[in-house]
Chain A
Amino acid sequence: MTAQLDVPERDPGLPDPSAPLIASGDLRRRDAVSRAVTASAAVAAFLAVAVLAILVFTVISKAWSVLSLSFIFTNPSGLDSGGIANALLGTIEIVAIAAVIALPVGILTGLYLTEFAGANSRSGRFLKLVLDLLQGLPTIIVGVVVYGLIVAVTHRQSGFAASVGLSIVMLPLIARSSQEVLLLVPGTLREAADSLGVSRWRTVLGVILPTAAGGIATGAILSIARAAGETAPLLVLDSIYDPNATQLNPFGHGVPNVPILILTTSDLPSPSALTRAWGAAFVLLAAILIANVAARIMLARSRRKMMG
């Protein structure tokens, strides 16, 4: 039953519309290309996961024989036996001091960007540029600079110098993540407080910071995890210390720490020293990965709280 209107004839080169809707000829080729691309992309993704798996698995399997509670809680005795307690304590202490320096400065910087610098103000854009530049600094440069400022002057490496170096590494990360979180606080909260005549600082302390607290904490955890693994600054600021003793005074003394422990033990010929290095690597890696996972979960929860 065909129509009897004068419909212009379809170009005979084009496919007949009433042919079945299956892939034919050129489309089969195009489909094959598309499928090949998808497959390659999937391979790339699984390659990345494989590398991660190999790395983690290597660390675990090589560290296995030395892992135990005493490994974590006893000090080393010589280079190839004993635990890593002093290094663990040292890293915790150095990173904690770095956080005490970097967190307030970073959060206040983030506050400045959201509360006082307008969206397109010159000071805001300049500060963001500075933070980006700080974030892109090679960490070895941060190390040598703090060396010049502290170690060269006091003629000794110290845990405190290391903390200062790490705080410089942490600062831009905390500032940016705080700023992102603070931006998410609904403008309506600020408006409500303003309309009540509440002064700005009360609003910040009483409303904005508490609302953003979860997200800021997440950013802090991620920055701390990052700082815990930073080795380059430590190499020039805190690599000279008694490896067998606990040292908790960061001022004027080198404090044992895990990254340097791994670095110096990793190319020793003794197999037991190597295993200890793997053990230390395992502890460090586990702590960092757990912190990352925890931060991710916290982030999802706090985002939901603020949006919902």
Chain B
Amino acid sequence: MSALRLRFRAGSGTEANRAGRTGDRILFALCAGAGLLAVLVLGEVVYQVISGARPAISKFGLGFLVHSRWAPNFSAFGAAQALVGTAITSIIALSIATPLGIAIGVYLAMMAPPPVRTVVGPLVEMLAAIPSVIVGFWGLIVFSPFVANHIEPALHNVLGFIPLFGAAQTTGFSLLTAGLVLTIMVLPIIAALSRDLFLTVPVELKEGAAALGATRWEIIRGVVLPTTASGVAAATVLGLGRALGEAIAVLQVVGDGTGIHSSLFQPGETLAARIANEFTSPESKLHIPSLFYLALILLVIGLVTSVLARMIATRFDVHRTLA
């Protein structure tokens, strides 16, 4: 060993050493280059979206955000309908997925017996791995009729006095269906992240609470949930990002929306779905730039949610590669 050491350390001019240093430099260049490439890609994405939207920005300005008429053949473009649809579907998805996801996380982390935990945990994660086109396909064929025939009438019967729950449509292609489909995609993200967070609560804290004569729910409410609150918030924001950016599944079930309606059971549009739907068949000169303008809005929202999630999660080591 000492002979080896001698050979590698002897003087700065030995051949082995020089080769070593060159090799190190090449490695560094490759790695730094890769990192630089990632940065450039992000920059290029931002640049392309902005420059693609420029004609529409200069034509419509900020008023684009509040105009609701979207008629490509008349060169009338406004983002309001898509914005409203995006907001509504995301709100639906998150209002259902967040409590359910947290409940599942609590169950998997603190209540389930070990055999149940090892089976149900991965199954919940598998739900996240299903491609959106398949979820959308199922939504199209199976789920929409179900929503139209069962869920919407039921909601209308019970809550019909609220304009949100108007008369049911026949097709079931609506903001509600889109929101419910998004719920399926967001739920496993929140559930898996919550479970991981709850598992990080130190055992001594839980034991200390138990020793004070608290029931399991009191321990969860008093110790586990407060300790992980900001991490769970970050997980929710990550779920929100997923919901906002989903184009395909929404496209398949949200219907052909024109105008903004008060009922959730009417068809609608979201930013991502509209872009995906119309990009390959533009009908006027400003069509594509307007779609880029929508993309710009979507991009800003997406970047903000990513940054927000990071800020909230900085106290926690939320590292998870979800398929």
Residues of A whose CB lies within 8 Å of any CB of B are 30-31, 33-34, 37-38, 40-42, 44-49, 51-52, 55, 58-59, 62, 104-106, 108-109, 111-113, 115-116, 123, 126-127, 129-145, 147-149, 168, 171-173, 175-177, 180, 196-202, 204, 219, 222, 225-226, 228-232, 235-236, 239-240, 259, 262-263, 266-267, 274, 277-278, 281, 284-285, 288-289, 292, 295-296
Q: A140-B272, A171-B41 are in contact. Are A231 and B303 (CB under 8 A)?
A: no
Of chain B, the residue at the smallest CB distance from A127 is B35
Chain B interface size band reads 35 or more
Query: Which residues from A are CB-within-8-Å of B38?
Result: 105, 109, 127, 130-131, 134, 171-172, 175
Most buried by A among B111, B215, B218, B272: B215
Cα separation A205 to B1 with both chains bound (whole Å): 21
Known: A37-B220, A105-B34. 18 other contacts (CB 8 A): A34-B215, A48-B104, A52-B130, A55-B130, A55-B134, A104-B34, A109-B34, A131-B38, A137-B299, A141-B299, A196-B8, A199-B23, A200-B23, A231-B248, A232-B248, A235-B247, A259-B133, A262-B133
Of chain B, the residue at the smallest CB distance from A230 is B131
Contact of B133 among A130, A231, A267 (CB under 8 A): A231
Of chain A, the residue at the smallest CB distance from B237 is A136
CB distance from B143 to the nearest CB of A (A): 9
Query: Which residues from B are CB-within-8-Å of A219?
Result: 321
Query: Which residues from B are CB-within-8-Å of A140?
Result: 245, 247, 272, 275-276, 295, 298
Contact of A198 among B8, B42, B103 (CB under 8 A): B8
Q: List 8 A-B contacts (CB under 8 A).
A: A45-B107, A47-B100, A48-B123, A145-B48, A196-B1, A229-B130, A232-B276, A288-B131
Contact of B48 among A136, A149, A177, A180 (CB under 8 A): A149
* Chain A interface mostly: helix
Cα separation A123 to B188 with both chains bound (whole Å): 32
What are the interface flags for B29-44 relative to A under an 8 Å C-beta threshold, 1 for contact and 0 otherwise? 0111111011101101
A139 touches B191 (CB 8 A): no
Cα separation A254 to B8 with both chains bound (whole Å): 54
B107 touches A144 (CB 8 A): no
Query: Which residues from B are CB-within-8-Å of A196?
Result: 1, 4-5, 8
Q: A225-B129, A231-B131, A235-B279 are in contact. Are A133 and B307 (CB under 8 A)?
A: yes
B138 touches A288 (CB 8 A): no
> Using a CB-CB cutoff of 8 Å, which residues 125-141 of chain B contact chain A?
125-127, 129-138, 140-141
* Chain B interface mostly: helix
- Say if the beta carbon of B207 comes within 8 Å of chain A: no
- Say if the beta carbon of B20 comes within 8 Å of chain A: yes
A44 touches B49 (CB 8 A): no
CB distance from A253 to the nearest CB of B (A): 16
Q: A41-B104, A171-B38 are in contact. Are A281 and B134 (CB under 8 A)?
A: yes
Cα separation A267 to B141 with both chains bound (whole Å): 9
Contact of A235 among B27, B112, B248 (CB under 8 A): B248
Cα separation A115 to B188 with both chains bound (whole Å): 33
A41 touches B48 (CB 8 A): no
A200 touches B39 (CB 8 A): no
Contact of B306 among A37, A136, A171 (CB under 8 A): A136
Query: Which residues from A are CB-within-8-Å of B319?
Result: 176, 180
A52 touches B126 (CB 8 A): yes
Cα separation A143 to B292 with both chains bound (whole Å): 11
B124 touches A138 (CB 8 A): no
A197 touches B34 (CB 8 A): no
Contact of B272 among A52, A55, A138 (CB under 8 A): A138
Contact of A112 among B35, B108, B244, B307 (CB under 8 A): B35
A112 touches B32 (CB 8 A): yes
A144 touches B122 (CB 8 A): no
- Say if the beta carbon of B72 comes within 8 Å of chain A: no
Query: Which residues from A are CB-within-8-Å of B134?
Result: 55, 59, 229, 262, 281, 284-285
Cα separation A41 to B111 with both chains bound (whole Å): 9
Q: A48-B104, A144-B291 are in contact. Are A123 and B35 (CB under 8 A)?
A: yes
Query: Which residues from B are CB-within-8-Å of A177?
Result: 321
CB distance from A197 to the nearest CB of B (A): 3
CB distance from B212 to the nearest CB of A (A): 13
Q: A105-B34, A129-B310, A137-B302 are in contact. Are A222 and B323 (CB under 8 A)?
A: yes
CB distance from A159 to the nearest CB of B (A): 16
Query: Which residues from B are CB-within-8-Å of A295?
Result: 323
